[in-house]
Structure 1
Amino acid sequence: MLRVKEDDVNAFTDLMRKYQPRLIRLMHTLGPRHDLAEDLMQETFMRVYRARKSYVPGAKFSTWLFTIAGNVARNANRSVGRRQEVNEVDAPKTPDTPSGAQLLASKAIDASGLMPNRLAEGVERAELVRAAVSTLGERQRMALMLSRFENMSYIEIAEAMGLTTKAVKSLLSRARVNLREILEPYVDSGLLKQEDDQ
Protein backbone atom coordinates (compact mmCIF):
# COMPACT_ATOMS: atom_id res chain seq x y z
CA MET A 1 0.00 0.00 0.00
CA LEU A 2 2.94 2.32 0.58
CA ARG A 3 3.91 1.77 -3.08
CA VAL A 4 0.30 2.49 -4.12
CA LYS A 5 0.50 5.72 -2.11
CA GLU A 6 3.41 6.69 -4.38
CA ASP A 7 1.22 6.02 -7.47
CA ASP A 8 2.70 2.61 -8.31
CA VAL A 9 -0.01 1.10 -10.56
CA ASN A 10 1.59 -2.37 -10.48
CA ALA A 11 1.41 -2.42 -6.69
CA PHE A 12 -2.29 -1.54 -6.87
CA THR A 13 -2.85 -4.38 -9.35
CA ASP A 14 -1.05 -6.75 -6.97
CA LEU A 15 -3.27 -5.63 -4.06
CA MET A 16 -6.39 -6.14 -6.14
CA ARG A 17 -5.26 -9.57 -7.26
CA LYS A 18 -4.53 -10.61 -3.67
CA TYR A 19 -7.69 -9.28 -2.02
CA GLN A 20 -10.29 -9.53 -4.79
CA PRO A 21 -11.56 -13.06 -3.97
CA ARG A 22 -11.75 -12.26 -0.25
CA LEU A 23 -13.69 -9.04 -0.84
CA ILE A 24 -16.13 -10.72 -3.21
CA ARG A 25 -16.79 -13.44 -0.60
CA LEU A 26 -17.30 -10.76 2.06
CA MET A 27 -19.66 -8.76 -0.18
CA HIS A 28 -21.69 -11.88 -0.96
CA THR A 29 -22.44 -12.03 2.74
CA LEU A 30 -22.62 -8.34 3.68
CA GLY A 31 -24.01 -6.82 0.50
CA PRO A 32 -27.68 -6.45 -0.29
CA ARG A 33 -27.64 -8.92 -3.19
CA HIS A 34 -25.23 -11.56 -4.53
CA ASP A 35 -25.23 -10.02 -8.01
CA LEU A 36 -23.78 -6.79 -6.57
CA ALA A 37 -20.76 -8.42 -4.89
CA GLU A 38 -18.31 -7.67 -7.71
CA ASP A 39 -19.55 -4.09 -8.07
CA LEU A 40 -19.14 -3.54 -4.32
CA MET A 41 -15.66 -5.05 -4.44
CA GLN A 42 -14.74 -2.62 -7.24
CA GLU A 43 -16.23 0.30 -5.30
CA THR A 44 -14.08 -0.70 -2.32
CA PHE A 45 -10.92 -0.68 -4.43
CA MET A 46 -11.89 2.66 -5.96
CA ARG A 47 -12.17 4.12 -2.46
CA VAL A 48 -8.81 2.60 -1.51
CA TYR A 49 -7.22 4.19 -4.56
CA ARG A 50 -8.84 7.59 -3.92
CA ALA A 51 -7.65 7.46 -0.28
CA ARG A 52 -4.12 6.29 -1.15
CA LYS A 53 -2.47 9.65 -0.40
CA SER A 54 -3.95 9.78 3.10
CA TYR A 55 -3.04 6.16 3.96
CA VAL A 56 -1.02 5.90 7.16
CA PRO A 57 0.39 2.50 8.09
CA GLY A 58 -0.84 1.55 11.52
CA ALA A 59 -3.00 -1.52 11.78
CA LYS A 60 -2.69 -4.28 9.21
CA PHE A 61 -3.64 -3.25 5.68
CA SER A 62 -6.41 -5.87 5.64
CA THR A 63 -8.02 -4.24 8.70
CA TRP A 64 -8.09 -0.88 6.90
CA LEU A 65 -9.40 -2.52 3.71
CA PHE A 66 -12.20 -4.39 5.51
CA THR A 67 -13.21 -1.20 7.31
CA ILE A 68 -13.71 0.44 3.91
CA ALA A 69 -15.50 -2.68 2.60
CA GLY A 70 -17.87 -2.64 5.57
CA ASN A 71 -18.72 1.00 4.87
CA VAL A 72 -19.35 0.25 1.19
CA ALA A 73 -21.63 -2.69 2.11
CA ARG A 74 -23.56 -0.60 4.66
CA ASN A 75 -24.11 2.18 2.11
CA ALA A 76 -25.30 -0.33 -0.50
CA ASN A 77 -27.68 -1.95 1.99
CA ARG A 78 -29.15 1.45 2.90
CA SER A 79 -29.52 2.39 -0.76
CA VAL A 80 -31.22 -0.88 -1.72
CA GLY A 81 -33.31 -0.71 1.46
CA ARG A 82 -34.64 2.71 0.48
CA ARG A 83 -35.57 1.42 -2.96
CA GLN A 84 -37.32 -1.62 -1.46
CA GLU A 85 -39.32 0.59 0.90
CA VAL A 86 -40.68 2.47 -2.09
CA ASN A 87 -41.47 -0.78 -3.94
CA GLU A 88 -43.15 -2.35 -0.90
CA VAL A 89 -45.49 0.62 -0.51
CA ASP A 90 -46.85 -0.16 -3.98
CA ALA A 91 -46.88 -3.96 -3.50
CA PRO A 92 -50.24 -5.52 -2.63
CA LYS A 93 -50.45 -7.17 0.79
CA THR A 94 -51.65 -10.76 0.82
CA PRO A 95 -52.69 -12.86 3.81
CA ASP A 96 -50.39 -15.70 2.77
CA THR A 97 -47.17 -13.64 2.89
CA PRO A 98 -44.55 -15.99 4.41
CA SER A 99 -42.82 -15.29 7.73
CA GLY A 100 -39.04 -14.88 7.92
CA ALA A 101 -38.55 -18.52 8.96
CA GLN A 102 -40.84 -19.78 6.20
CA LEU A 103 -39.04 -17.60 3.68
CA LEU A 104 -35.65 -18.94 4.82
CA ALA A 105 -36.85 -22.53 4.59
CA SER A 106 -38.41 -22.11 1.15
CA LYS A 107 -35.38 -20.19 -0.17
CA ALA A 108 -32.97 -22.84 1.06
CA ILE A 109 -35.10 -25.73 -0.20
CA ASP A 110 -35.74 -24.06 -3.58
CA ALA A 111 -32.04 -23.27 -4.02
CA SER A 112 -30.91 -26.75 -3.06
CA GLY A 113 -33.55 -28.80 -4.86
CA LEU A 114 -34.09 -30.91 -1.73
CA MET A 115 -36.58 -33.73 -1.81
CA PRO A 116 -38.40 -34.16 1.54
CA ASN A 117 -36.73 -37.47 2.40
CA ARG A 118 -33.26 -36.63 1.12
CA LEU A 119 -30.43 -35.29 3.30
CA ALA A 120 -28.76 -32.10 2.18
CA GLU A 121 -25.19 -32.61 1.03
CA GLY A 122 -22.26 -30.38 0.12
CA VAL A 123 -23.62 -27.42 -1.78
CA GLU A 124 -27.08 -27.86 -0.31
CA ARG A 125 -25.77 -27.68 3.27
CA ALA A 126 -23.66 -24.67 2.38
CA GLU A 127 -26.71 -22.93 0.89
CA LEU A 128 -28.74 -23.58 4.05
CA VAL A 129 -25.96 -22.13 6.20
CA ARG A 130 -25.51 -19.15 3.84
CA ALA A 131 -29.24 -18.45 3.96
CA ALA A 132 -29.14 -18.63 7.77
CA VAL A 133 -26.14 -16.28 7.94
CA SER A 134 -27.96 -13.82 5.66
CA THR A 135 -30.73 -13.50 8.30
CA LEU A 136 -28.26 -12.20 10.91
CA GLY A 137 -27.94 -8.49 11.52
CA GLU A 138 -25.35 -6.63 9.46
CA ARG A 139 -22.84 -6.24 12.31
CA GLN A 140 -23.15 -9.89 13.35
CA ARG A 141 -22.61 -11.01 9.74
CA MET A 142 -19.53 -8.83 9.33
CA ALA A 143 -17.98 -9.92 12.64
CA LEU A 144 -18.66 -13.56 11.78
CA MET A 145 -17.15 -13.24 8.28
CA LEU A 146 -14.03 -11.48 9.54
CA SER A 147 -13.59 -14.06 12.29
CA ARG A 148 -14.38 -17.27 10.40
CA PHE A 149 -13.17 -16.51 6.88
CA GLU A 150 -10.52 -13.85 7.33
CA ASN A 151 -9.16 -15.35 10.57
CA MET A 152 -8.94 -11.90 12.11
CA SER A 153 -8.40 -11.59 15.85
CA TYR A 154 -10.93 -9.86 18.13
CA ILE A 155 -8.62 -6.83 18.22
CA GLU A 156 -8.41 -6.66 14.39
CA ILE A 157 -12.18 -7.07 14.02
CA ALA A 158 -12.71 -4.35 16.62
CA GLU A 159 -10.44 -2.00 14.65
CA ALA A 160 -12.13 -2.81 11.34
CA MET A 161 -15.62 -2.32 12.77
CA GLY A 162 -14.86 0.59 15.09
CA LEU A 163 -15.89 -1.36 18.19
CA THR A 164 -14.32 -2.57 21.44
CA THR A 165 -13.06 -6.14 21.68
CA LYS A 166 -15.75 -6.77 24.28
CA ALA A 167 -18.41 -5.67 21.78
CA VAL A 168 -16.91 -7.96 19.12
CA LYS A 169 -16.97 -10.95 21.50
CA SER A 170 -20.61 -10.15 22.29
CA LEU A 171 -21.52 -9.84 18.58
CA LEU A 172 -19.88 -13.16 17.76
CA SER A 173 -21.53 -14.87 20.70
CA ARG A 174 -24.98 -13.58 19.68
CA ALA A 175 -24.33 -14.54 16.05
CA ARG A 176 -23.51 -18.12 17.07
CA VAL A 177 -26.60 -18.35 19.30
CA ASN A 178 -28.81 -16.93 16.53
CA LEU A 179 -27.36 -19.33 13.94
CA ARG A 180 -27.84 -22.26 16.28
CA GLU A 181 -31.51 -21.31 16.79
CA ILE A 182 -32.11 -20.79 13.06
CA LEU A 183 -30.43 -24.04 12.06
CA GLU A 184 -31.73 -26.18 14.95
CA PRO A 185 -34.79 -27.47 13.02
CA TYR A 186 -32.49 -28.60 10.20
CA VAL A 187 -30.13 -30.31 12.66
CA ASP A 188 -33.06 -32.00 14.41
CA SER A 189 -34.50 -33.20 11.10
CA GLY A 190 -31.12 -34.55 9.98
CA LEU A 191 -30.69 -32.06 7.12
CA LEU A 192 -27.59 -30.69 8.83
CA LYS A 193 -25.07 -32.32 11.10
CA GLN A 194 -24.33 -30.65 14.44
CA GLU A 195 -20.93 -29.28 13.38
CA ASP A 196 -22.49 -27.31 10.47
CA ASP A 197 -23.92 -24.68 12.81
CA GLN A 198 -20.67 -23.99 14.63
Structure 2
Amino acid sequence: MQVQELLQKKSIANKFIAQLRDVNIQTDRMRFRKNIERLGEVLAYELSKELNYDNNEVKTPLGPCKVAVSNDELVICSILRAGLPLHQGILNYFDDAENSFISAYRHHPNNDEKFEVLVEYLASASLEGKTLILADPMLATGKSFANVLKALKPMGMPKKIHLVSVIGSKQGIEYLKSEFPEDSKLWIATIDEELNDRGYIVPGLGDAGDLCFGTKLQH
Protein backbone atom coordinates (compact mmCIF):
# COMPACT_ATOMS: atom_id res chain seq x y z
CA MET A 1 0.00 0.00 0.00
CA GLN A 2 1.27 3.43 -0.95
CA VAL A 3 0.88 6.37 1.44
CA GLN A 4 0.44 10.01 0.46
CA GLU A 5 0.62 12.38 3.47
CA LEU A 6 -0.82 15.80 2.72
CA LEU A 7 0.99 17.79 5.43
CA GLN A 8 4.44 16.82 4.15
CA LYS A 9 4.01 20.07 2.19
CA LYS A 10 2.64 23.23 3.77
CA SER A 11 -0.80 24.26 2.53
CA ILE A 12 -4.17 25.60 3.70
CA ALA A 13 -4.83 22.08 5.02
CA ASN A 14 -2.54 22.92 7.98
CA LYS A 15 -5.13 25.43 9.19
CA PHE A 16 -7.96 22.90 9.04
CA ILE A 17 -5.93 20.30 10.96
CA ALA A 18 -4.88 22.85 13.59
CA GLN A 19 -8.52 23.80 14.21
CA LEU A 20 -9.60 20.16 14.41
CA ARG A 21 -7.01 19.50 17.13
CA ASP A 22 -7.60 22.71 19.13
CA VAL A 23 -9.69 22.03 22.27
CA ASN A 24 -10.84 25.66 22.26
CA ILE A 25 -12.34 25.29 18.78
CA GLN A 26 -13.60 21.69 19.00
CA THR A 27 -16.65 22.79 20.99
CA ASP A 28 -18.02 24.32 17.78
CA ARG A 29 -19.40 21.14 16.19
CA MET A 30 -20.40 22.86 12.98
CA ARG A 31 -16.85 24.14 12.41
CA PHE A 32 -15.42 20.73 13.35
CA ARG A 33 -17.61 19.00 10.76
CA LYS A 34 -16.84 21.68 8.17
CA ASN A 35 -13.09 21.31 8.62
CA ILE A 36 -13.33 17.56 8.08
CA GLU A 37 -15.43 18.23 4.99
CA ARG A 38 -12.86 20.72 3.70
CA LEU A 39 -10.07 18.18 4.16
CA GLY A 40 -12.21 15.66 2.29
CA GLU A 41 -12.27 18.10 -0.62
CA VAL A 42 -8.51 18.67 -0.52
CA LEU A 43 -7.77 14.95 -0.34
CA ALA A 44 -10.27 14.24 -3.14
CA TYR A 45 -8.49 16.78 -5.33
CA GLU A 46 -5.13 15.12 -4.73
CA LEU A 47 -6.64 11.67 -5.33
CA SER A 48 -8.18 12.87 -8.61
CA LYS A 49 -4.71 13.25 -10.11
CA GLU A 50 -4.36 9.44 -10.21
CA LEU A 51 -7.66 8.61 -11.91
CA ASN A 52 -7.97 7.59 -15.57
CA TYR A 53 -8.96 10.24 -18.10
CA ASP A 54 -10.42 10.47 -21.62
CA ASN A 55 -10.26 13.49 -23.91
CA ASN A 56 -13.84 14.69 -24.34
CA GLU A 57 -15.05 17.46 -26.60
CA VAL A 58 -17.42 20.09 -25.23
CA LYS A 59 -19.10 22.90 -27.12
CA THR A 60 -18.52 26.43 -25.87
CA PRO A 61 -20.38 29.52 -27.21
CA LEU A 62 -17.35 30.17 -29.45
CA GLY A 63 -16.52 26.66 -30.59
CA PRO A 64 -15.48 23.13 -29.56
CA CYS A 65 -12.91 22.48 -26.83
CA LYS A 66 -11.22 19.25 -25.77
CA VAL A 67 -11.13 18.56 -22.02
CA ALA A 68 -9.69 15.56 -20.15
CA VAL A 69 -12.47 14.02 -18.02
CA SER A 70 -12.15 11.04 -15.70
CA ASN A 71 -13.77 7.83 -16.93
CA ASP A 72 -13.51 5.93 -13.62
CA GLU A 73 -16.66 4.58 -12.02
CA LEU A 74 -16.31 5.66 -8.40
CA VAL A 75 -17.94 4.32 -5.25
CA ILE A 76 -17.42 6.30 -2.05
CA CYS A 77 -17.89 4.20 1.09
CA SER A 78 -17.82 5.98 4.44
CA ILE A 79 -17.63 4.39 7.86
CA LEU A 80 -20.46 5.62 10.09
CA ARG A 81 -20.75 7.93 11.90
CA ALA A 82 -17.58 10.03 11.94
CA GLY A 83 -17.07 9.38 8.23
CA LEU A 84 -20.14 11.39 7.18
CA PRO A 85 -18.56 14.87 6.90
CA LEU A 86 -15.47 13.39 5.22
CA HIS A 87 -17.78 11.56 2.82
CA GLN A 88 -19.53 14.83 1.99
CA GLY A 89 -16.24 16.55 1.23
CA ILE A 90 -15.20 13.80 -1.17
CA LEU A 91 -18.67 13.76 -2.74
CA ASN A 92 -18.51 17.53 -3.31
CA TYR A 93 -15.73 16.86 -5.83
CA PHE A 94 -16.85 13.45 -7.15
CA ASP A 95 -20.52 14.41 -7.35
CA ASP A 96 -21.49 11.67 -9.80
CA ALA A 97 -20.03 8.84 -7.70
CA GLU A 98 -22.11 6.03 -6.26
CA ASN A 99 -22.30 5.87 -2.49
CA SER A 100 -22.02 3.17 0.17
CA PHE A 101 -22.32 3.33 3.95
CA ILE A 102 -21.13 0.90 6.59
CA SER A 103 -21.01 0.87 10.38
CA ALA A 104 -17.90 -0.06 12.33
CA TYR A 105 -17.55 0.59 16.03
CA ARG A 106 -15.44 -0.39 19.02
CA HIS A 107 -17.10 -3.01 21.21
CA HIS A 108 -15.71 -3.53 24.72
CA PRO A 109 -17.14 -6.93 25.75
CA ASN A 110 -15.53 -6.89 29.21
CA ASN A 111 -15.94 -3.16 29.87
CA ASP A 112 -12.18 -2.70 29.92
CA GLU A 113 -9.60 -1.28 27.52
CA LYS A 114 -9.69 -4.31 25.21
CA PHE A 115 -12.02 -3.99 22.24
CA GLU A 116 -13.01 -5.53 18.93
CA VAL A 117 -14.30 -3.69 15.88
CA LEU A 118 -17.79 -4.82 14.88
CA VAL A 119 -19.51 -4.21 11.55
CA GLU A 120 -23.30 -4.39 11.76
CA TYR A 121 -24.78 -2.35 8.88
CA LEU A 122 -24.00 -2.16 5.17
CA ALA A 123 -25.72 -0.46 2.26
CA SER A 124 -23.51 -0.65 -0.82
CA ALA A 125 -23.51 -0.35 -4.57
CA SER A 126 -21.79 -3.01 -6.64
CA LEU A 127 -18.01 -2.66 -6.49
CA GLU A 128 -17.20 -4.97 -9.39
CA GLY A 129 -14.60 -3.35 -11.66
CA LYS A 130 -15.04 0.06 -10.03
CA THR A 131 -12.75 2.38 -8.08
CA LEU A 132 -13.51 2.16 -4.36
CA ILE A 133 -12.84 5.11 -2.04
CA LEU A 134 -12.99 4.15 1.65
CA ALA A 135 -13.40 7.13 3.98
CA ASP A 136 -12.86 7.33 7.74
CA PRO A 137 -11.34 10.42 9.41
CA MET A 138 -9.41 8.54 12.12
CA LEU A 139 -7.03 5.69 11.28
CA ALA A 140 -6.02 4.42 14.71
CA THR A 141 -5.41 0.65 14.87
CA GLY A 142 -6.47 0.10 11.25
CA LYS A 143 -8.98 -2.58 12.26
CA SER A 144 -12.01 -0.59 11.10
CA PHE A 145 -10.68 -0.27 7.55
CA ALA A 146 -9.60 -3.93 7.50
CA ASN A 147 -12.94 -5.26 8.79
CA VAL A 148 -14.86 -3.06 6.39
CA LEU A 149 -12.83 -4.42 3.46
CA LYS A 150 -13.82 -7.96 4.49
CA ALA A 151 -17.48 -6.98 4.83
CA LEU A 152 -17.46 -5.48 1.32
CA LYS A 153 -16.17 -8.61 -0.41
CA PRO A 154 -19.67 -9.86 -1.41
CA MET A 155 -20.19 -6.54 -3.24
CA GLY A 156 -17.64 -7.44 -5.92
CA MET A 157 -13.95 -6.91 -6.69
CA PRO A 158 -12.95 -3.26 -7.23
CA LYS A 159 -10.22 -2.56 -9.76
CA LYS A 160 -8.57 -0.04 -7.42
CA ILE A 161 -8.88 0.91 -3.75
CA HIS A 162 -8.15 4.33 -2.29
CA LEU A 163 -8.35 5.03 1.45
CA VAL A 164 -9.00 8.57 2.66
CA SER A 165 -8.34 9.66 6.24
CA VAL A 166 -7.58 12.81 8.21
CA ILE A 167 -5.29 11.63 11.03
CA GLY A 168 -3.62 8.24 11.35
CA SER A 169 -1.08 6.43 13.48
CA LYS A 170 2.08 4.82 12.15
CA GLN A 171 1.04 1.56 13.82
CA GLY A 172 -2.35 1.52 12.10
CA ILE A 173 -0.84 2.26 8.71
CA GLU A 174 1.66 -0.57 9.07
CA TYR A 175 -1.20 -2.92 9.94
CA LEU A 176 -3.14 -1.91 6.82
CA LYS A 177 -0.15 -2.62 4.60
CA SER A 178 -0.61 -6.32 5.40
CA GLU A 179 -4.40 -6.22 4.90
CA PHE A 180 -4.85 -4.29 1.64
CA PRO A 181 -3.62 -4.99 -1.90
CA GLU A 182 -0.18 -3.60 -2.72
CA ASP A 183 -1.57 -1.20 -5.33
CA SER A 184 -3.99 0.39 -2.82
CA LYS A 185 -3.24 3.98 -1.85
CA LEU A 186 -3.84 5.86 1.39
CA TRP A 187 -4.51 9.60 1.16
CA ILE A 188 -4.11 11.11 4.62
CA ALA A 189 -3.75 14.64 5.93
CA THR A 190 -1.26 13.87 8.69
CA ILE A 191 0.32 10.95 10.58
CA ASP A 192 0.93 10.87 14.35
CA GLU A 193 3.56 8.81 16.14
CA GLU A 194 1.66 6.56 18.54
CA LEU A 195 -1.44 5.03 20.08
CA ASN A 196 -2.24 5.11 23.78
CA ASP A 197 -3.39 2.12 25.86
CA ARG A 198 -6.99 2.68 24.73
CA GLY A 199 -6.06 2.58 21.06
CA TYR A 200 -6.51 6.33 20.51
CA ILE A 201 -4.12 8.36 18.37
CA VAL A 202 -1.68 10.60 20.27
CA PRO A 203 -1.74 13.58 20.02
CA GLY A 204 -4.71 13.03 17.69
CA LEU A 205 -7.83 15.03 18.42
CA GLY A 206 -10.10 12.84 20.55
CA ASP A 207 -13.25 11.00 19.42
CA ALA A 208 -14.16 12.39 15.99
CA GLY A 209 -17.68 10.96 16.07
CA ASP A 210 -18.49 12.59 19.40
CA LEU A 211 -16.97 15.89 18.32
CA CYS A 212 -19.02 15.84 15.11
CA PHE A 213 -22.37 14.73 16.48
CA GLY A 214 -22.34 14.63 20.29
CA THR A 215 -21.50 12.08 22.96
CA LYS A 216 -23.06 8.65 22.43
CA LEU A 217 -24.42 6.26 25.06
CA GLN A 218 -22.40 3.08 25.51
CA HIS A 219 -24.18 -0.28 25.40
Normalising by structure 2, we get a TM-score of 0.26
Higher helix fraction (1 or 2): 1
Q: TM-score, normalised by structure 1?
A: 0.28
The structure with the largest alpha-carbon Rg is 1
Higher relative contact order (CA 8 A, sep 6+): 2
